Structure formats: structure tokens, C-alpha cells
Structure 1
Amino acid sequence: MRSQLDEWRFALTSKFIPAILIAPLLVAALFGYMFQNSQINEAPIAVVDEDNSIYSRQFTEKVNASQYMNVTDVFYQAVQPDTLLANEKYIAVIYLPRGMEQLRYQGKQVNVGVLIDNTMPSAVGNIRNGIQELITIENLSLSVGKLKVMGLSDESAAGIAAPISMQQRLLYNPTSDFIGFMVIGFVNVVALGITAIATASIVPRLRVEGTLAQALKRPLGLWLRVVPYAVITCISLLLAFGMLKQLGGLRFAGSATAFVIPLLLYTLTISYMGMLVGWSASEPSKVALRTYAIVYPSFMLSGVQVATIIFPYPIQVISHMLPLTWLFKFIRGIGYRGGSLSYFTAEIGVFVLMIGILSLGIGLMIMWEHRKMNVKTGMEEIAA
């Protein structure tokens, strides 16, 4: 109990409180504001219209009518795409071939060229979808018009021209909102780094203060010293999620009360991980570099930037050893999909297993410290 009071007192009076409370909130506010626009609309497009006919101009107007594209310039002679795309003035170039209108009336295929600058893949997804939708609608309307001339009804003509139609619906993040994966990832990585450094400093701090030997006599009290940091980090993340919901429109459909349970298990897990990583450091100032072994892999492999399924199998195995990977499963499962906590008993079991393994590691470190102290005492007795 005394060790808990000492650790709570230290946590509340140290720089941990302003760091863990302010940093995630600042990241949430800044990135929530920066990425409040969930998709790119009115992307600049250049059209090279070599036909310069009534139909090609109508087609250009349809491209410009799309919410995803803005035709900023039209060229009526051939232009090299490298020239147009070199300085990022345009994201894509659409080529309308010479004889486009004539080919249309003859019922022949018209090849429309679409060249997209894919150096920034996240910027062109909607452009590809917008152009594909436009081409599909244009083909359907032309086919239906020809069939209606043959005496078919609108319904029959549409059935022959497009017998199968697709009705697509994007679930849980219909606008591909950056808040829901990239921003929430940055917030969690920042909180992870601050908490890992704070908990990694516990044992080195006790060693410098000369109270580690006394703390080792009560292993349970030493093991519980991470609780203040886990609880405060849990509160900080809840506040950051709330800010993202209010400022950035974060979609959280599940029960916040149910989400607290896996969130607290996660913060306990990273706290014990930090304690174990920093245990053997001689002083608190030397633990920061050690925590990079937790933070950097978590940033790269836990699903902050890309889905973990894209990794080779051995990397996926490493990814599943990271607590942040499992937290994202809860964020997506409970927060975005609105799932019940009862759906995630296996994932909760993973956190419990991680805490058990890390606690075993801490127990081994306690035994190692006792052995060191016994050896030191024996050498002192021999020297005396």
C-alpha cells in the first residue's frame, strides 16, 4: 500500500501528468483539425481533347461535374503527360482521341486514356472511382439508347445492356476518414511512448534513490507500481478519443464503458512492458533509447499505417506480439463496428496472457536483483 501511495505521489508531481494528458490531446486536436476533410474532392485534372467535337466537350463537362474531379485546363493538341504531371499542377490527365464523336456514332469502341500520377496513392483513389463510374454510366446510356431505337422498353433495354448491377456500401468508415485510422494511430503511439518511458524509469529511479532493496522485499508492491501510470494513460486516451469525436467527427458506435476494460488492460500491458525493458538501466535518463524498441515497431507493424495482413507471415507474427496491434482490434471492433465486449473474449485473453508473461519476466528480474545483492553482500563480508 505504501509503495502505491509513493508511486501515485511521484506520478502526480512529476512531468508525467502534463506529458500524458497534454501531448495526446494536442496531437488529437492538431491532427483532428488537419484531417477533418475525409476525402479529396475537386482534384485538378487536365483534359487533352484531340477531337474537339460536341461530344468530346460534353464528355469533358461530365468529368468536370464529378465531385471528385475539377477540369482546370483543356488542351486541343497532343501534350506529353510528363510535361503536365511534372510539377503536380494536375493529378491526372484524360486523353480524348481524335475521331471520338465519329466512332461513337458508328458504334465502334472509343479508347479514352486516363493517366494518373500514382506517386501519392492515397490522393487518387476517388479519381479512379469517379472516372470508372462515369465510363460505366456513359456506356450504359449509349447501349440503352441503341436498344430503345430497336423498340425495347426502358426496363428491357437496361436489362440487356447491364443484366447485373452492383449495389455497393462501405461499412463503418464510408468516407475513408483519416481520423479513424491514421490520426487515432498517432495519438496512441504518442501515449505509448510517454507511458513506456515513465514506467521504464521506475526501477532505475528506485535504484538511484537507494530504495530498490527495500522495494524488492515486497514484490507485489513493486509489481503494482505501474498502476498509476496505466490508469492515468487510460484516462488520457479516453479524453483524446472524446476530443477527436467532438473536433474531428470520430465515429464511435460502441459502448464507451465496455471499451474501458480492454483499454485499461492495454495500458497495464504497455506499463509492464516498459518496466521490464528499463529494469536493468542504471538511472532513469538511460531508459529513453530502450523504449524505442517498443515504440518504433508499434508504429510500423501494429496497423497504424497499413493493415497487418499486407505483411509477410513472419512479420505478422511479430505484429501480434505488440499490444497496440490488439488495441486497434478493440478500437475497430467495439468503437467503429459497435460490437459487444462478449465478442472479444479471445482478444481480452491475449492481454491477460501478455500481462502474465511480462509479470513472469519481472519476477525473474526480481530474483536476479536478489542474487546480485546476495553476491555483493557476500563479497563485502569476505572483504571485512
Structure 2
Amino acid sequence: MKLYKVVMKEFRYIFSQKRIGLLLFGVPFSFSVLFGLIYSTEIVKSIPTVIYDQAQSGASRSLVQDFADSQRFRIVGVVNTQEEMEQYIINEEAIVAVGIPFDFSKQIKLGHGGEVVLEINATNIMYSNTVMTFGREIITSYNAGVGQKLVEGVNQVPQQALHTVAPVILKQRLLYNPTNSYTAFLLPGLVANGVQIGIILCVCTALLREFGATGLWRTTSPAVIVTGKLLAYWLCSMVAIIMSIAVCISAFKIVLRGSMGSLLLICSAFTFMIVNLGLLFSAMARDERMPVHPVMLLYIMPAFLYSGYNWPHIAKSSFVYAYSLLLPMTYAADTIRDILLAGYSPDLLLNSAVLYIAGNVVWTLTIVVCKHRCKSLVAATSQEVRP
């Protein structure tokens, strides 16, 4: 057969098979849309910020106003004590705290340099990088304005002259991830994503292969079959995710600052939901290839990016944020990282409850689907055996 005939034959095959067309053309198009939407806002802005201004002077209020005027920061609270400021960070009501000491204005006037401290929750380095970059930009702009007024003195020693032209000294304190490590930032979420991919790919055919055995469905309740498979895969998934996190801790020096109980709670809720989701896909599938393709396109691939793990929710469009609320990763990945790096997640109980409740809803739907298919199978078998 000549070359052009082989080429034309293959073209005819490609365009006659919907599955191939979907993979070849649909996947790149879907990815360009799905992943383009996540970064459509282009920048991280409106980072929740708490202010602790001990000076309460004209100079300090001017600096606070500079932070308030910046699109990158959104002031969510003004506190009067160090404890209140730290509580905002612990509860994740604020990502960054701006601390201004009581002698701020005095130190500027004396030419000693007034200090400003930024305390940053660095578990997500998208926040910390943005805060460090634009925090310095605000201080540099502030220094230019104040320094111009102060540069009237002459015959100053070098250190004093430096503090005259740059009267504010910025100090930054990275909390929970002091080295701004990409490993600590990314690895816990990648582990969770890897576990869910493994679960989905294994479980999405678990029920499908049983639909050929009508005798099983005649003698065993669909609820028993679904629950039995759920418990088996759930237990294996828990072992898998704990082993993976143990590797992160032992081999890659990611610190577990939280309790093992908290970690087990969110991991169990997450795997419970994912296993149930895989069983639902399996119950709805008509052949072994059917459950994999839509799951890969609509769930597995965008799940990591849309979850808010590496691109924050505050930087998302409303559509992307709404879609992310449907993804179990949204409720698990950040919580796992917070427990590891910060030792605490304020959303632990809420996110665990959401995953367990959603998992039970999906479990119920799976049983309903199985009962419907079981009736159809039994009816079809009965018709075949009639004389």
C-alpha cells in the first residue's frame, strides 16, 4: 500500500472514532481553557493583612495608608497587642501582619532608622513571594518620600546618612516555612494529588467488572457490595497516603508540627470521598474505558491547580472559585500542608465534615445507580433464559 493511502486510511479512522477525536483535539483545547482560567487574573492581590501600629503617629499612619492603598494588600484588622496579631495569623484570617514599634517616629527623627516587621504565613509561597516583593516596594516608596524631607542634615557619619535617605528598615519573618522552600510548599499537595489519581484509576472499574456476574447481584445487596469495596479500597488508600507523607517527613525533611490525629482525620476524610467518587464513576460506566477519560479531563488534571493549593483562591475568577468548591482537593490539600508546616489548620473540622458528608452522599448515589443497573441486568438475564 502506498504511503498516501496509509495516511488517508488513518485519517478516516481518526475522524470516525469519537474517542480518539476527543483525546486528540478535546484534551489540548480543554487544558488551554481550564488552565488559562486559573491564571486569568494574572496576579495575586488583596492579601489579607492585619496591622499592629504601636506608634500611632503621623509617620506610622502614613505608612499604614500606603499598605491600604496598595491593591496587593487588604487590611482585615487593626489590633492593639502582639497576641491579637499572632491570632490573626494562626486562624488564617490574615496572611501577613505589619508590626510598627512604639518608637518608630522617634527613631526616624534621630536618624537611627525606624523598623517595620512583616510576619508572613509562608506555607503558600505565592503569598510570601508577593508580600516580600511588594512590601519592599511600599517601603522603598515610603523611604523616598520621608527621606527627601530628612536629607537636610549635613556632615553625617555614613551610617546616619544611610538612615536619613532610607529612614525605614524592613524586616521580614517567614512563619512555618522559614526558607521559603518549594519542597515544603509543593510536596504535600503533590502527594495528595498522586494518591487521588491512584485511587480513581484503580476504583473506577471496581464495580464495573462485577456487572457481568448477575448471580452476585441476586444474592447480595448492592449496599453490601458497594460498602465492601469501599472499605477495602479506603483502608489501602489510608496506608498509601500515610506511607507517602512518611517519606516526605523522613526523606525530604518536611516537619510534622501538628498532631498525627489531625493528619489522620483529614486524610481519612479525603480518601473516603475519593474512593466513593471512584465507585460512582465505576457504577455509571458502560465499559472499562468509559470512566477514565471524563474523569481525567474534568477532575484529575485540573484538581491540583483549581484546589487553591498553589494558586490562591483570592486570585481566582468567580467561575474558577465556584468550580473549585466541587473538588475534594480544595478541602484536603491546604489542610494537610497546614498541619505539617504550621501545626494547626483552623478549617480542619469543617473540611473533614464536608468531605465525610459529601462522601456519604456519593455513596448513597452509587448504591442507587447499582440498584437500577442490577434490576436491568436481572431483567435482561430473565428474558434470555425464557424458553
TM-score > 0.5 by shorter chain: yes
1:291 aligns with 2:295: yes
Partner of 1:321: 326
Partner of 1:303: 308
Aligned partner (choices 127, 132, 153) of residue 147 of structure 1: 153
Question: Match for 1:333: what amino acid?
Answer: D
Partner SS for 1:202: coil
Aligned partner (choices 371, 374, 379) of residue 375 of structure 2: 371
Q: Is the 8 A contact 2:276 2:359 kept in 1?
A: yes
Aligned partner (choices 238, 243, 247) of residue 243 of structure 1: 247
Matches within 5 A, 1:54-93: none
Distance in 2, matches of 1:308 and 1:135, equals 29
Question: Match for 2:203: what amino acid?
Answer: T
Residues 245-286 of structure 1: per-residue CA shift (max 9 Å, x gap): 222222321112321111011111100000101213344455
Q: Is the 8 A contact 1:273 1:358 kept in 2?
A: yes
Question: Match for 1:297: what amino acid?
Answer: P
Partner SS for 1:356: helix
Q: 1:327 to 1:125 in 2, by over 3 A?
A: closer
Deviation at 1:337, TM superposition (A): 1.6
Question: Match for 2:305: what amino acid?
Answer: M
Q: Is the 8 A contact 2:306 2:324 kept in 1?
A: yes
Q: 1:131 to 1:312 in 2, by over 3 A?
A: closer
Residues 352-373 of structure 1: per-residue CA shift (max 9 Å, x gap): 2211220121122023123313
Q: Is the 8 A contact 1:197 1:291 kept in 2?
A: no
Deviation at 1:141, TM superposition (A): 10
Residues 27-51 of structure 1: per-residue CA shift (max 9 Å, x gap): xxxxxxxxxxxxxxxxxxxxxxxxx
Distance in 2, matches of 1:334 and 1:321, equals 22
Q: 1:259 to 1:219 in 2, by over 3 A?
A: same
Distance in 1, matches of 2:132 and 2:342, equals 27
Residues 275-298 of structure 1: per-residue CA shift (max 9 Å, x gap): 101213344455432431331121
Q: 1:329 to 1:212 in 2, by over 3 A?
A: farther
1:175 aligns with 2:179: yes
Distance in 2, matches of 1:247 and 1:130, equals 34
Distance in 2, matches of 1:192 and 1:153, equals 57
Partner of 2:205: 201
Deviation at 1:377, TM superposition (A): 5.2
Partner SS for 1:181: helix
Q: Is the 8 A contact 2:248 2:254 kept in 1?
A: yes
Partner of 1:259: 263
Q: 1:153 to 1:308 in 2, by over 3 A?
A: closer
Q: Is the 8 A contact 2:262 2:348 kept in 1?
A: no
Q: Is the 8 A contact 2:222 2:370 kept in 1?
A: no
Q: Is the 8 A contact 2:191 2:244 kept in 1?
A: yes
Q: Is the 8 A contact 2:234 2:272 kept in 1?
A: yes
Distance in 1, matches of 2:272 and 2:245, equals 18
Partner SS for 1:357: helix
Partner SS for 1:168: strand
Partner SS for 2:174: coil
Gaps of at least 5 residues in structure 2 are 1-125
Matches within 5 A, 1:10-49: none
Question: Match for 1:172: what amino acid?
Answer: Y
**TM-score normalized with structure 2 length:** 0.55
Q: 1:214 to 1:307 in 2, by over 3 A?
A: farther
Distance in 2, matches of 1:141 and 1:163, equals 6
Partner SS for 1:147: coil
Aligned-residue CA RMSD (Å)? 4.1
Distance in 2, matches of 1:308 and 1:315, equals 9
Gaps of at least 5 residues in structure 1 are 1-120
**TM-score normalized with structure 1 length:** 0.56
Partner of 2:339: 334
Q: Is the 8 A contact 1:269 1:354 kept in 2?
A: yes
1:355 aligns with 2:354: no
Distance in 2, matches of 1:182 and 1:148, equals 51
Between the two proteins, what is the percent identity of the paired residues?
A: 16
